[in-house]
Chain A
Amino acid sequence: MANLSFVIPMSVMTLFWGIIGGVVPWFIPKGPNRGVIVTMLVLTAVCCYLFWLIAILAQLNPLFGPALKNDTIWYMYYHSS
């Protein structure tokens, strides 16, 4: 699959924030602060996941590429893949 390198980070991050927002709240012990802690976990998971998702989707299909100085290009041509 050409998109394997996209599927892996996608599923890892979704799983990670999904666990934090959907699974960990069930394990918070009962007490006066349970409601607040669960709210914080869910909101954190939603916000951080959304933020990461926007960043990766914005770069999925770029309309233009970076413009580099010619010595940077020369260096990168000879010293990296």
Chain B
Amino acid sequence: MDSFFRSEEMCLVQLFFQTESAHNCIDELGHLGLVQFKDLHPGTADFQRRFVKEVKKCEEMERILRKQLYFVTFFDKLEQELKEINSNRDTLRQNFTQLTEINHLLHMTDDFFVEGEAGSTIEMSSSSVHSFVAGVIKHERFPAFEKILWRLFHGNFVLRHAEIKPHQEENMEKDVFVVFVQGDQVRGKIRKLCDGFHASMYPCPNNAAARKEMRTNVNMRMEDLRLVLKRTEEFRVTTLTAAAANLREWTAKVKKMKAIYYTLNLCNIDITQKLIIAEIWCPVSDLSSVHAALIKGSEQTGSSVTPIMNRIHTQQTPPTFNRTNVFTSGFQNIIDAYGVGDYQEINPAPYTMVTFPFLFAVMFGDCGHGLLMTLLAVWLILHEEHFRKLKNELVDMLVSGRYIILLMGIYSIYTGLIYNDCFSKSFNLFGSSWSVRHMFHPQGPWTNETLHNSDYLQLDPLVSGVYSGNPYPFGIDPMWNIALNKLLFLNSYKMKMSVIIGVVHMLFGVMLSLGNYIFFRNFKDVVLKFIPELVFMLSLFGYLTFLILYKWCVVIKSDSAPSILLLFINMMFFDYSSNGAMLYKTQKPVQIFLVVVAGVMVPWLLFAKPLLMYREHKQSKLVNHLIRIIKGTLLQQKYQNDKGVCMENMGDIFVYQGIHTIEYCLGCISNTASYLRLWALSLAHAELSEVLWKMVLQVALRVTSGMGSVLLAVTFATFAVLTVTILLVMEGLSAFLHALRLHWVEFQNKFYQGSGYKFSPLSFDKMFITGTTEE
């Protein structure tokens, strides 16, 4: 199945199903995740749709469910249960408060009665009934209470009060009071007064024994109530935790329902209200599974009529669907981030799976850091579940890119081995090709004196034996790592490498455009666009690559070696007057020929296509007129848009083609230069790495005193932190970004249109992973 190289073939299907089975059918389709519902009411606003009430209800429930996490629940029968529990609890609490108050009252009044019995002779002259009222009143109301009592009874009473010491269960300051009065009628008045002050009155027995009995009674009841309250609390807690366990399930159900009602809003309801008509986009290869899902859904509701699928042909542009698995989806995402491909044009993703990590690695180029990155990726892959549970956005992004990071790390190890750079140190596996011994007498010019007289000396490859004649077999020679003019050599090497890689990458892009032309049967464009583009690029930049490779392969004396840049510039200006030697004998005529050919390509690219269209237009004007009417109403595909447009206005066509020509030709030059960022970033990475070694770790390693080991431990910690934050994170992100840009701009503008729209099926799995509902 080459479905990954191009987007899949899609078809438009009409579905007819009964209203009763609608819910189940859409549920099944949602689980399948392969159909995209087309909006059959594109003009209507949200509130005008048929199922708007149901959607609103679902949204209400969603909102309530979200609150579950913080507050008391109010949901269906749980709501009832909890309400009951709560009211019970309140009544119990009230009882409990009352009992505590009585307790305090009894406690305090003991003292009063004792006092009263002792000093009753002063105010009470006779042994008339000593009636009293005992109760509890709020502390701040007490002074007013006392004042009114005075006004009423003109001092014919004894009032005793005491403050209740604050207890943990009560939060109000209350006072206990006892009023001793004569006569029964007075009691009635006092009762009314107490009511007015919201003081609670309690019957209090006269004698000490009865009081004691009452107290034990009250204490017992308080104990009972305490127990009951505790049990009620426990029950409430267990009910809530049971509810919390089901919470996730309910949230999922509500989300699904909302999605289903949203989908139903997109469909048409028949006049008879019994039939629902939907239009879906679905991949041609999945038609049978969609059919099976519909049958399953209608069977669940027990309806005898199976839903009907009717494939219709349309000229509308289908969505772009690239079937991905867990490995390829990361790469497809980074391509789609720039632009979703047109329907069935070449998908750059399978090639990006290798070229993107490779270009990253060229810029990252350190096998030690590459190894760290690979290990990080392996860790992410093995613990993917655990990381997804954290629900952190940054971590999520890392986890979804774990295979990209793995490939980037592996390629970085390879390029690091070739650059011979591991935490800024080199390996010497095969023995260096440079020999110092041969520079000294008798073979070479140096003596011990030359060595003493100068700080540094340069090896000369022309002296026999100094350069062994065979380059280091795998990568850059380790001698360059300790050389003072290391950058002079490496810069030249890396710049040329960037140009070569860039030209190859761009040529690959141009070849992919040929693939697109052939697939869409657009053979005219092969001759009018592809061939001039290819020849232009090959004749100028392919020749530049040839010059680079040729200069590397031939033996030249260093003082007569021409600079490639100057050669190229002179070639463009036809300037052969300078004394600079040529690289090879027939260089001048070859170069003139190539520049002329490239020059011819430009008007070919600019004029050939518009002129051809103009001729067609003139020759068959009437026929084209008819074609235009038919095609103009139905066609929306981009590749045939050109024809439709050009019929209207030749000026537009010329302008469009002119822009394309300029963009391509100037783009060739600027894009080739843009690939020099491969050199720039790898240089930056190598230099940062070297700085960390020289200024951080080496300093600690050179300390010879006893404390050196402690200093080394601390310095290594600093080295590690700086390596991870600067070299791995910062440089990693930077190289990632630049490699991505090279793909998006320099590579894709050779062949990719990127103006399609993505296939977004109704899929419950995707909904729950991303945590949002279908919009």
Enumerate chain A interface residues (CB-CB to B < 8 A). 2-3, 5-6, 8-9, 13, 32-33, 35-36, 39-40, 43-44, 47-48, 50-52, 54-70, 72-74, 76-77, 80-81
* SS class, residues of chain A in contact with chain B: helix
Interchain CB contact under 8 A, B558 and A64? yes
A-chain residues with CB within 8 Å of residue B556 when the two chains form the complex? 61, 63
Q: How far is the CB of B427 from chain A (nearest CB, A)?
A: 14
CA gap between A12 and B328 in the complex, in Å: 32
B474 and A52 form a contact (CB under 8 A): yes
Q: Give the chain B neighbours of A64 by CB distance below 8 A.
A: 458, 460-461, 485, 488-489, 558
CA distance A20 to B358 in the complex (A): 16
In the complex with contacts A43-B354, A67-B484, A73-B451, A36-B328 CB distance below 8 A: yes
B190 → chain A closest CB, angstroms: 94
The segment out of B152-160, B493-501, B748-756 that lies at the interface is B493-501
Question: How far does the alpha carbon of A76 sit from the alpha carbon of B561 in the complex, in Å?
Answer: 30
Contacts of B328 in A (CB 8 A): 36
Known: A3-B470, A68-B457. 13 other contacts (CB 8 A): A35-B1, A43-B353, A44-B358, A48-B358, A51-B414, A51-B418, A58-B552, A61-B555, A62-B461, A66-B484, A66-B485, A66-B486, A66-B489
Q: Is the CB of A76 within 8 A of B436?
A: yes
B471 to chain A, nearest CB (A): 4
A32, A65, A74, A76, most chain B CB atoms within 10 A:
A65
Q: Known A35-B1, A73-B436; judge A67-B470 contact (CB<8 A).
A: no
Whole-angstrom distance from the CB of B280 to the nearest CB of chain A? Answer: 24
Sampled A-B contacts (5; CB under 8 Å): A52-B475, A54-B500, A57-B549, A57-B552, A62-B467
Which residues of A lie under 8 Å from residue B466 when comparing CB positions?
A: 65
In the complex, which residues of chain A have a beta carbon less than 8 angstroms from the beta carbon of B486? 66
How does the 8 Å CB contact mask read for B545-567 relative to A, with 1 for contact and 0 for none?
Answer: 00001001111101001000000
Once bound together, how far apart are the Cα atoms of A76 and B483, in whole Å?
13
Which residue in B469, B477, B492 is a CB contact (below 8 Å) of A3? B469
- Interface 1/0s, chain B 28-54, versus A by CB < 8 A? 000000000000000000000000000
Bound CA span A28–B496, Å: 36
CB nearest to B475 among chain A residues = A55
Q: Are A56 and B353 in contact (CB under 8 A)?
A: no
Query: Which residues of the other chain, A, contact B459 by a CB distance below 8 angstroms?
Result: 65-68
Does B493 contact A58, Cβ atoms closer than 8 Å?
Answer: yes
Contact B351 A35 (CB under 8 A): no
Q: B434 at the A/B interface (Cβ < 8 Å)? A: yes
Asked if B98 is at the interface of the complex by the 8 Å CB criterion, the answer is: no
Which residues does chain B contribute within 8 Å of A47, judged by CB atoms?
Answer: 354-355, 358
How far in angstroms is the closest Cβ of chain B from A43?
4
Which of A2, A39, A62 gathers the greatest number of chain B CB atoms within 10 Å? A62
A59: contacting residue among B1, B350, B472, B501, CB under 8 A: B472
Q: Are B470 and A5 in contact (CB under 8 A)?
A: yes
Q: Does B455 contact A (CB under 8 A)?
A: yes
Give the interface of B toward A (CB within 8 A): 1-2, 4-5, 325, 328, 350-351, 353-355, 358, 362, 414-415, 418, 433-437, 439-440, 451-452, 454-461, 466-477, 479-480, 482-486, 488-489, 492-493, 496-497, 500-501, 504, 549, 552-556, 558, 561
- A56-B179 Cα distance, complex, nearest whole Å: 112
B residues less than 8 Å from A80 (CB atoms): 436-437
Contact B471 A69 (CB under 8 A): no
* Contact between B477 and A59, CB atoms less than 8 A apart: yes
| A56 with B497, Cβ < 8 A, contacts A61-B552, A62-B467, A81-B435 known | no
Are A67 and B451 in contact (CB-based, < 8 A)? no
| Contact in complex: A74, B549 (CB < 8 Å) | no
Residues of the A chain whose Cβ atoms lie less than 8 Å from the Cβ of B467: 62, 65
Given contacts A35-B5, A43-B351, A54-B500, are A60 and B552 in contact (CB under 8 A)? yes
The reply to whether A67 and B485 form a contact with Cβ atoms under 8 Å apart is yes
CB distance from A70 to the nearest CB of B (A): 5
Q: Judging by beta carbons under 8 Å apart, are B4 and A35 in contact?
A: yes
Instruction: Return B475 CB to nearest CB of chain A, in Å.
Output: 6
Chain A residues in 8 Å Cβ range of B325: 33
Say whether B350 contacts A66, CB under 8 Å.
Answer: no
Assuming A35-B1, A67-B483, is B471 touching A59 (CB within 8 A)? yes
List of B residues within 8 angstroms of A62 by Cβ: 461, 467, 489
The listed residue (A3, A57, A68) touching B436 by CB distance below 8 A is A68
User: CB distance B457 to A70 under 8 Å?
Assistant: yes
- Among A48, A57, A65, A81, the residue within 8 A (CB) of B458 is A65
Residues of B within 8 A of A67 (CB): 456-459, 483-485
Are the CB atoms of A58 and B497 closer together than 8 Å?
A: yes
Q: A51-B362, A62-B461, A67-B485 are in contact. Are A36 and B350 (CB under 8 A)?
A: yes
Chain A residues with Cβ under 8 A from B471's Cβ?
A: 6, 56-57, 59-60
A73 and B446 alpha carbons, distance in the complex (Å): 11
- Residues of B contacting A68 in the complex (Cβ-Cβ under 8 angstroms): 436, 456-459, 482-484
Hey, which chain B residues are within 8 Å of A44, CB to CB? 354, 358
Contacts of A77 in B (CB 8 A): 436-437, 440
Measured CA separation A58–B474 after assembly (Å):
12
B273 to chain A, nearest CB (A): 44
Tell me the smallest distance from the CB of A58 to a CB of chain B, in Å. 4
Complex Cα distance, B450 from A73, in Å, reads 11
Residue of B nearest to A52 (CB): B418
CB contacts (< 8 Å) of B362 on chain A: these are 51
**Which of B414, B415, B436, B480 has the most chain A CB atoms closer than 10 A to its own CB?**
B436
